[in-house]
């Protein structure tokens, strides 16, 4: 048992190192902490992509997956001519150190909750874990995961990124231990916090970066025991990284930044359907928001194509599958009144269940928005707003909108909070005058 905990930890470190090497060419202008985050996200995507391919090799054990990952990592490292030097950043001040210590304590609290027992959430048992365990023990992706009527409750239409990543980690670790595999969750939370701190440190200064990191770390609505085994925690990392790639691309279009946009978006869209939507919105915002700048469509395509690609490949391989929770016929003219009623139900329930109980922090955020200066990360605000609006619309299209709003909506909105703290951190840095000049 202890050995498997150790090997899962080694598998996560290996995954992060492999991802970091693969993405070496894209790491120019990234701080050290950001590189760890990008490494883990890309590495998870890489292992998930490689697992079904190496499963076709008549060799068991972790060796084929390790070898394939090492080859691609070496190729990435060669393409980037090694890791580029890190940019020089100002020292971390005492206030930032204090905030980071509190953030580390909040992270430790969440980490204990994540690994306190084998992953158990309903969606883990019925969707993510079931598929991951089936893939791991079958040595392939069985067609019944998509087409078996006895499994129709397991959302066959969902992307397979997370189940494949779990199965790949188990393959490298040498066994399926769903308690040890929960280590992925503190690891992805740590990566999210490192991505936030590293990015904001170079854009808004270390104190503002530490404050935003703390706001994310202390968000126990997302970082809690129930989230272990679910897609929201890894997706939050994807939202943060793709938002950072978006903001970097708005500031200046480089090959490294485009590569990062592709890497973050393809991994996020492989994890959750919301990732596809997010990528399309970022592409639209980039295309519309950089008017007159040459190459803006090519930059937008760096979000659009990787957002659509995982769903397109899945549809080509297993055929189209409808989401059984949603009723698309509500868009028919004859049912528009019913759709409007559903929308009203969702809004009323949100008002009672989320907005009123959260009136104090929402009011505080409003005051913060009024009191602080505009900043480049404000471009993220409409993206977040459109994503939120589409979530609410999706709830209105649900077979049971009230149930969907109650069980899913707060959870999927919560996964956006770490990305929203980028905006908060940058506004704080710009308003306090601590933002350093942009690193080119």
Partner 1 sequence: LIVVLVCEARTLDRDEWRRRARALPVLVSMPPERARSHESSFGFDRNFAPFLEGVRRATPAGATIALLVPTADTRYLFAAAYVLAPRRIVGTDRLTEADFAAAYRAAAPGRPVSAAIPFGSLGARP
Residue pair 262/22 in contact (Cβ under 8 Å)? The answer is no
Q: Which of residues 222-241 bind partner 1 (CB under 8 A)?
A: 224-225
Q: Does 364 bind partner 1 (CB under 8 A)?
A: yes
Question: Minimum distance between the CB of residue 97 and partner 1, rounded to whole angstroms?
Answer: 17
Q: How far lies 440's CA from each of 29, 213, 251, 257, in Å?
A: 7, 23, 9, 11
The correct pick among 17, 70, 72, 120 for binding partner 1 (CB under 8 A) is 120
Number of chain residues interacting with partner 1 (CB under 8 A): 50
Question: Minimum distance between the CB of residue 337 and partner 1, rounded to whole angstroms?
Answer: 31
Q: Does 428 bind partner 1 (CB under 8 A)?
A: yes
With CA atoms as reference, report the closest residue to 208 among 439, 431, 428, 430: 428
The correct pick among 107, 185, 199, 219 for binding partner 1 (CB under 8 A) is 219
Q: Does 328 bind partner 1 (CB under 8 A)?
A: no
Nearer to partner 1, 246 or 417 (CB): 417
Q: Does 79 bind partner 1 (CB under 8 A)?
A: no
Q: Which two tokens stand for residue 236?
A: 């939050």
Q: What is the DSSP string of 238-289?
A: HHHHHHHHHHHHHH---HHHHHHHHHHHHHHHHH-HHHHHHHHHHHHHHHHH
Give dist(CA 38, CA 261) in Å, integer. 11
Q: Does 60 bind partner 1 (CB under 8 A)?
A: no
The correct pick among 73, 115, 302, 375 for binding partner 1 (CB under 8 A) is 115
Q: What is the DSSP string of 2-51?
A: HHHHHHHHHHHHHHHHHHHHHTGGG-TT--HHHHHHHHHHHHHHHHHHHH
Q: Binding string, 145-164, against partner 1, x = CB under 8 A?
A: ---x-xx-xx----------
Q: Which two tokens stand for residue 331?
A: 């868009």
Q: Binding string, 173-192, against partner 1, x = CB under 8 A?
A: ----xxxx------------
Nearer to partner 1, 32 or 363 (CB): 363
Q: What phi and psi values does residue 326 have, to the nearest 5 degrees?
A: -110, 150
Give dist(CA 324, CA 145) in Å, integer. 15
Query: Taking contact as CB under 8 A, which single stretch among the options 48-56, 65-73, 140-148, 245-253 is the one that binds partner 1?
Result: 140-148
Output the CA torsion sign for 223, 145, 39, 279.
negative
Give dist(CA 104, CA 190) in Å, integer. 9
The DSSP symbol for 355 reads I
Within 8 A by CB and 6+ apart from 59, the residues are: none
Q: Does 289 bind partner 1 (CB under 8 A)?
A: no
Q: Does 368 bind partner 1 (CB under 8 A)?
A: yes
Q: Does 218 bind partner 1 (CB under 8 A)?
A: yes
Question: Minimum distance between the CB of residue 113 and partner 1, rounded to whole angstroms?
Answer: 6
Nearer to partner 1, 126 or 311 (CB): 126
| Residue 153 neighbours by CB distance under 10 Å | 11
Q: Does 100 bind partner 1 (CB under 8 A)?
A: no
Which residues of the chain form contacts with partner 1 (CB under 8 A)? Answer: 1-2, 5, 106, 109, 112-113, 115-118, 120, 122, 124-126, 129-130, 133-134, 137-138, 142, 144, 148, 150-151, 153-154, 177-180, 211, 214-215, 218-221, 224-225, 358, 360-361, 364-365, 368, 424, 428
């Amino acid at each position: 048992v202890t050995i498997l905990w150790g090997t899962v930890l080694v598998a996560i470190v290996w995954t992060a190192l492999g991802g970091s090497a693969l993405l070496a060419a894209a790491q120019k202008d990234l701080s050290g902490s950001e590189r760890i985050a990008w490494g883990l996200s890309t590495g998870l995507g890489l292992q998930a992509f490689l697992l079904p391919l190496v499963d076709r090799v008549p060799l068991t054990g972790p060796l084929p997956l390790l070898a394939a990952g090492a080859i691609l990592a070496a190729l990435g490292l060669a393409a980037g001519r090694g890791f580029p030097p890190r940019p020089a950043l100002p020292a971390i001040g005492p206030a930032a150190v204090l905030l980071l210590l509190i953030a580390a304590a909040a992270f430790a609290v969440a980490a204990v909750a994540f690994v306190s027992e084998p992953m158990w959430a309903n969606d883990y048992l019925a969707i993510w874990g079931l598929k991951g365990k089936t893939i791991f023990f079958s040595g392939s992706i069985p067609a019944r995961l998509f087409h078996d009527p006895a499994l129709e409750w397991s959302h066959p239409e969902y992307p397979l990124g997370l189940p494949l990543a779990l199965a790949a980690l188990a393959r490298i670790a040498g066994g399926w231990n769903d308690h040890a595999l929960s280590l992925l969750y503190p690891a992805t939370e740590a990566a999210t916090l490192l991505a936030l701190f590293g990015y904001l440190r170079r854009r808004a200064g270390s104190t503002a970066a530490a404050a935003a990191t703390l706001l994310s770390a202390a968000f126990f609505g997302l970082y809690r025991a129930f989230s272990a085994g679910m897609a929201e925690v890894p997706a939050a990392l994807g939202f943060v990284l793709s938002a950072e790639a978006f903001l970097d691309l708005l500031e200046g279009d480089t090959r490294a930044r485009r590569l990062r946009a592709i890497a973050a978006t393809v991994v996020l869209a492989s994890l959750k359907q919301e990732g596809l939507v997010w990528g399309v919105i970022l592409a639209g915002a980039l295309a519309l928001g950089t008017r007159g700048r040459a190459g803006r469509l090519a930059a937008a395509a760096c979000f659009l194509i990787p957002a659509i690609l995982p769903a397109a490949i899945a549809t080509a391989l297993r055929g189209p599958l409808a989401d059984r929770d949603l009723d698309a016929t509500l868009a028919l003219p004859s049912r528009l009144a019913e759709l409007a009623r559903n929308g009203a139900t969702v809004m009323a329930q949100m008002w009672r269940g989320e907005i009123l109980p959260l009136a104090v922090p929402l009011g505080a955020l409003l005051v913060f928005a009024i009191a602080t200066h505009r900043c480049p990360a404000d471009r993220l605000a409409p993206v977040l707003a459109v994503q939120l609006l589409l979530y609410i619309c999706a709830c209105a299209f649900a077979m049971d909108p009230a149930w969907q709003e109650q069980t899913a909506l707060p959870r999927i909105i919560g996964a956006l909070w770490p990305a929203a703290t980028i905006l908060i951190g940058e506004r704080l840095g710009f308003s306090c005058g601590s933002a350093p000049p942009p690193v080119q």
